[in-house]
Amino acid sequence: MAVIIDGKKHSAEMRKTIADRAANYKSITGKDIGLAVVLVGDDPASAVYVRNKIKGCEEVGIKSFAYYLPADSAQEQVENLVGGLAEDDAVNGILVQLPLPGHLDAKKILSRIPKSKDVDGFCEENIGSLCMNEDCLVACTPNGIMKLLERENIPVKGKNAVVVGRSNIVGKPMALLLLNADATVTICHSKTRNLKEICSRADILVAAIGKAKFITADYVKQGAVVIDVGMDRDENGKLCGDVDFEAVKDKCSHITPVPGGVGPMTITMLLYNTVTAAERCL
């Protein structure tokens, strides 16, 4: 059976280090590190994510500023709020919870976040720096995956990596991070031909497509590392990932479970990015 990568354990260990860094920052500057979170509307899932992010801040000693706006907020109102936070010296990181209500232009709103405070790693400047393999703030979920691989001593250099999914939040930055770590990377998506054949050649397989248990054993090479980014519901309404865990776990060398794998690392990397953003201003 594969080694099950314990994201909860790695996350908890990292948060201790992050808390130490936050305390050191305060001892040097006399100020708390600050993270501003903006939530527009009343989407239940988004509200849960925001609560968890605020809870994470409390755990590591980061001061959180939460802004809750009604779903019918005007574009100018949201842009002005984000622009004001960009100028606020007490705020080291800004996060606008996605998705935004449909009438809002998310790209314009996110563009008001300066590169130095873009702790989600979504702005065009940070994505450009990632493409150039330059130091930057990186999207939390893919960066968390890289930390899991590193902490599990799983080599990436020279490996054949396949990323299933091409979203701006996970798939594309994941592929870039693997490429920057000297993997040979293939990105697959809904129009990819011979998907099963391509996946079955991967030394490292990252599934980020949002389809419950889509990746079965015949997609997986013997001894591969399987990273499951999915957060889905199976036929019984039980939380599961994009990978059929029970069918795959005896074929691969390492695998992330759902829940408890990649998920815990995402908010931890948000905290990591926020502390990093603050330290760069010292």
Q: Is 120 an annotated catalytic residue? A: yes
Among 75, 88, 107, 120, the active-site one is 120
Q: How far apart are CA 3 and CA 254, in angstroms?
A: 5
Q: Is 191 an annotated catalytic residue? A: no
Q: Is 172 an annotated catalytic residue? A: no
Q: What are the contacts of 216-222 at 24+ separation with CB within 8 A?
A: 216/244, 216/247, 216/248, 217/244, 217/247, 217/248, 217/251, 219/195, 220/248, 220/251, 220/252, 222/251, 222/252
Among 53, 117, 213, 221, the active-site one is 53
Q: How many CA atoms lie within 13 A of 175 on its CB side?
A: 18
Among 43, 55, 63, 97, the active-site one is 97
* Catalytic residue set: 53, 97, 120
